[in-house]
Amino acid sequence: MNLRNKTHRVHIGGIPVGGGAPISIQSMTSTYTYDIDDTVAQIRRLAEAGCDMVRVAVPNKKDTEALKSILDQSPVPIIADVHFHFERAIEAIEAGVHKIRLNPGNIKDRSQVDRVIAACRERGIPIRVGVNEGSVVERQDKGRRAAQKADIANDPRARLVALMIETLEDYLRIFDENDFHDVVLSLKSIDATIVIDAYRAAAERFDLPLHLGLTHAGPPETGRIRSIASLGTLLACGIGDTMRISYASDPIDEVHDAKELLCSLALRPRVEPELIACPTCGRIEIDLIKLVAEVRQKLASIKTPVKVAVMGCVVNGPGEAEGADVAVFAGKGRGIIYVQGEQTRTVKEDEMLDALYEECVIFAERVERGEVELTSAKVNIVPPAPLPREDGSIPLTVVR
C-alpha cells in the first residue's frame, strides 16, 4: 500500500475529507426528495449500514423546500445534487445542507455561479465539482465539439483524460477568482481504465480532495467488478479521500461493498464480523454454500469484528483458517469447532450452525469484557482427526 496522497482538507458537516482524514463513504437516495418520510427513512437505513454522508437530488423547488425537514431528521450530513438551476443551489444552501454538488459548465451565466460560490463561502460549505466522460465534450458550440471529438478519436483514453483535466482547470479558475478553495473534485467514466488514468492525472495536477466514483456502473453483479477494479486500484495507490460505489439497485448495496473494499485494504477498521470460507471442491460433503449463507445471516447480529471461518473439509481447512477467531471444519455428519486454535466442540451436522453461532457470541462477549483479544496474527490450528466416511471407514491422516 502506498502512502495517502496529500490533499487540502474540507469539512462536510462534522466529517473531515482530505488531508489524511479517513476515507468517507457516500451514497445517494433513490427516493423523490420532496417525499420527506421516504427520503428520511432511506437516509437512516444508509447511515445504519455505515454510510458517512448522503446525497439527495434537488431538481425542483419542492425538493429544496423539503430539505429543512430532512436535515432536522438526518443522522448524517446531507449533500445537495444540483445540475442546471442555480436557484436550487441557493435554496439548498439556505436550507442548511452540508455540501453542494455543482457543475459550473451546466450554468452558463457566470454571475449565477459566483452567487452560489459566495453563498457557500459565507456558510463554510464545500462544493464538489465534477467532470464526466458523457458530458465533458462541448455540446453547444458545434465547431468546438467536432474538434474535441476528432482529437479524442486519435487517442481516446489519453485525450479524454486530458480534456477532463483541462475542463477542471477551467472550472477551478472560477473558484480561484472567487477566492474559494473548499472544493472536492471528481472525474468519472463508465470505463474503469479511464477512471484510473483520470484520477491519477488529477492527483498529480491538483492538491484538492478527490471524490472517487465510476459512473453508470450497472447492476451489482457486474458493477461491483468494474467499481472495485478501478476504485480499489486507486485506493491501493493512496489516491482518494471520499467515495461512492454506484449501482442500479438498492443504495444499501453500495455502502456494504464500499465498506468491504476499505476494510480489505486496511483503510477502515472492521466493526462487525468477517466471514471467510474455503472454495468449494469435490472433497466437500456438506452444502457449504448454504451453510455459509446461513452463517452470514446469523453473524449480522454480532457487533464485534470476530473473524469466522467456515471450512468444508479438514484437508486445506486448518491452514486456510489460521488467523480465524472461531472456525468450523465441516464434514458429512458432523463438524469440529475451534476457538483461536483450541478445539471446543464436535457437533452433529444439524447442530453446526447454532453451535458455531453460540461460540461466536461467547467469544465476542469475552472480547467486549476485555478477557481475550481479537486475532491479529497467525493462529496455530492442529488439524482435527479425519472425519469418518459414511461407511464408517477413516480417511488417511492429513499431512501438512
The CATH number assigned to the domain holding 186 equals 3.20.20.20
**Cell 461460540 sits at which residue?**
359
Q: pLDDT class for 400, splitting at 50, 70, 90?
A: very low
Instruction: Name the strand (E) or helix (H) holding 55.
Output: strand 53-57
Q: Please check whether residues 115 and 237 belong to one and the same domain.
A: yes
The answer as to whether 388 is a domain residue is: no
For the segment 41-91, what is each residue's pLDDT rounded down to a tens digit?
999 999 999 999 999 999 999 999 999 999 999 999 999 998 778 899 999
**If DSSP codes are grouped into helix, strand and coil, which group holds residue 363?**
helix
Q: How many angstroms separate the Cα of 126 from the Cα of each of 9, 33, 112, 123, 181?
A: 10, 21, 17, 9, 8
pLDDT at res. 372? 92
Q: Please check whether residues 135 and 222 belong to one and the same domain.
A: yes
pLDDT at res. 381? 56
The answer as to whether 17 is a domain residue is: yes
Please give the tally of structural domains in the chain: 2
Instruction: Name the strand (E) or helix (H) holding 26.
Output: strand 24-28
The answer as to whether 333 is a domain residue is: yes
The answer as to whether 382 is a domain residue is: no
* Angstrom distance (rounded) from CA 259 to CA 336: 31
Domain finish residue from 230, 264, 298: 264
Q: Residues 284, 80: contact at Cβ < 8 Å?
A: no
Q: pLDDT class for 399, splitting at 50, 70, 90?
A: very low
* Angstrom distance (rounded) from CA 34 to CA 328: 49
Q: Please check whether residues 254 and 292 belong to one and the same domain.
A: no
pLDDT at res. 134? 74
Alpha helix segments (H runs only) across the chain: 36-49, 61-73, 86-95, 110-123, 142-154, 156-177, 192-205, 220-227, 233-236, 251-264, 288-299, 317-321, 352-368
The answer as to whether 373 is a domain residue is: no
Other beta carbons within 10 angstroms of residue 377's beta carbon come to 6
Q: Please check whether residues 176 and 80 belong to one and the same domain.
A: yes
Provide the percentage of residues in the chain whose pLDDT is more than 90. Answer: 65
Q: Please check whether residues 54 and 193 belong to one and the same domain.
A: yes
The answer as to whether 102 is a domain residue is: yes
The answer as to whether 3 is a domain residue is: no
Q: Please check whether residues 69 and 177 belong to one and the same domain.
A: yes
pLDDT at res. 102? 85
The answer, yes or no, to whether residue 379 has pLDDT greater than 90, is no
Structural domain including 290 reads 274-368
Q: Please check whether residues 203 and 320 belong to one and the same domain.
A: no
Q: Please check whether residues 207 and 115 belong to one and the same domain.
A: yes
Mean pLDDT rounded to a whole number for the chain: 89
The answer as to whether 236 is a domain residue is: yes
For the segment 85-136, what is each residue's pLDDT rounded down to a tens digit?
889 999 999 999 999 998 777 777 888 899 999 999 999 999 999 888 877 7
Q: Please check whether residues 168 and 288 belong to one and the same domain.
A: no
